[in-house]
Amino acid sequence: MPTVIRAYFRTGIAAARLQHRPDHIRHIAAHLPEIVCAGALCDEAQAPRGLFLAVQGDSAQARALIESDPYHRAGLFERVETEPFLQFVPHANPRLLDEELERALQSAAAAAT
């Protein structure tokens, strides 16, 4: 099951983030087979305030991935959160949502009787 990582930057690290960004990008590129999706967490002005990754593996594997990231090694994160992620979209089974809807409708009908 994939694990979600949310890592939030400390305040005042913009220059350090830019300094470590090339190594961060190399790190992400080296781990592409493990990454389901990834991107920046931004404020309303689209200024980066952290990052989001959904990765294959358990929370220990996710922690190892983020702890080896150059941003983490440089101490740029204020906090890092991980939790299991049950992915529905996109899914290997293209009919998954139809099947889930059918189960939900059956459950609702059974509960109504």
**Structure confidence by residue, pLDDT tens digits, 41-63:** 999 999 999 999 999 999 999 99
38 touches 72 (CB < 8 A): no
Query: What confidence score (pLDDT) does residue 92 get?
Result: 74
Output the average pLDDT for the chain.
93
Query: 23: domain range?
Result: 3-112
CA distance 54 to 28: 12
Q: How many domains does the chain have?
A: 1
**Structure confidence by residue, pLDDT tens digits, 3-50:** 999 999 999 999 999 999 999 999 999 999 999 999 999 999 999 999
The verdict on pTM exceeding 0.85 is no
CATH number, residue 51? 3.30.70.1060
**Where residue 95 falls among pLDDT bands split at 50, 70, 90?**
confident
Query: What confidence score (pLDDT) does residue 90 get?
Result: 76
**Who contacts 35 (Cβ-Cβ below 8 Å, separation ≥6)?**
28, 53, 54, 55, 56
